[in-house]
Amino acid sequence: MPGYLLHVGGILNCFHQSGIVTPALMNSPRVRVSAQQALTVPELLQVAGCLFTIPSGLHPCVLVRVEAATRVKINGRPAAILTPAAVCVAADQAPQGIPNSSTTQKRVKAT
């Protein structure tokens, strides 16, 4: 499924609006979109500060899972793309909802 190439700062926060998404960068900053470093799938998109609770206690988002491009690679790693399949997950891998991504670039698509 095609999607927009993700970059640093492309996903602002988790589904609950309280968690801030920060990538753990592993890639060299050679590939840029919208003057920001493009992300690859092995780079974790960690969520900090999510305050979501369920009746048994806190159940915050801890990371965002995105899809891998099958035809586009950055330094041999699949590029991260934003598709409707992107999801925030809790520590127990329970899906929490889709991430908010208002600042994602809209020029480069990948499949």
> CATH code at 23?
2.60.200
Dihedral sign for Cα atoms in the order 107, 95, 22, 16: positive
pLDDT on residue 24: 84
pLDDT on residue 46: 92
Q: For residue 30, is it within any domain?
A: yes
Q: For residue 110, is it within any domain?
A: no
* Residue 56 burial (C-beta neighbours within 10 Å; 0-12, 13-18, 19+): exposed
Q: For residue 55, is it within any domain?
A: yes
Amino acid found at 99: P
Count the domains in the chain: 1
Encoded tokens for 61: 């988002």
> What parts of the chain have a pLDDT lower than 70?
27-28
What is the span of the domain harbouring residue 66?
3-105
Going by C-alpha positions, the residue among 111, 4, 24, 105 that lies closest to residue 64 is: 24
pLDDT on residue 18: 87
